Amino acid sequence: MDDNLIAKIVGVVSGAFLSLSFDPPRSRSGLIRRGASALVFGWIFGYATLELLEWPETYNHIVAAFCLASMLSWSAIGILKRMVEAYKKDA
pTM: 0.82
Q: What is the DSSP letter of 47?
A: H
pLDDT confidence tier of residue 1, bands split at 50, 70 and 90: low
User: Which is nearest to 14 in space by CA: 43, 48, 52?
Assistant: 43
Using CA atoms, how far residue 89 sits from 34, 67, 83, in Å, is: 26, 34, 10
- pLDDT one-digit tens code per residue, 41-91: 999 999 999 999 999 999 999 999 999 999 988 888 888 888 999 998 887
Report d(CA 69, CA 49) in Å as an integer: 6
The structural domains of the chain, with segments of one domain joined by +, span 3-90
The number of angstroms, rounded, from the C-alpha of 21 to the middle of its chain's C-alpha atoms is 13
User: Which is nearest to 70 in space by CA: 42, 37, 33?
Assistant: 42
Tally Cβ neighbours within 10 Å of residue 34. Answer: 19
The answer to whether 39 and 67 have CB atoms below 8 angstroms apart is no
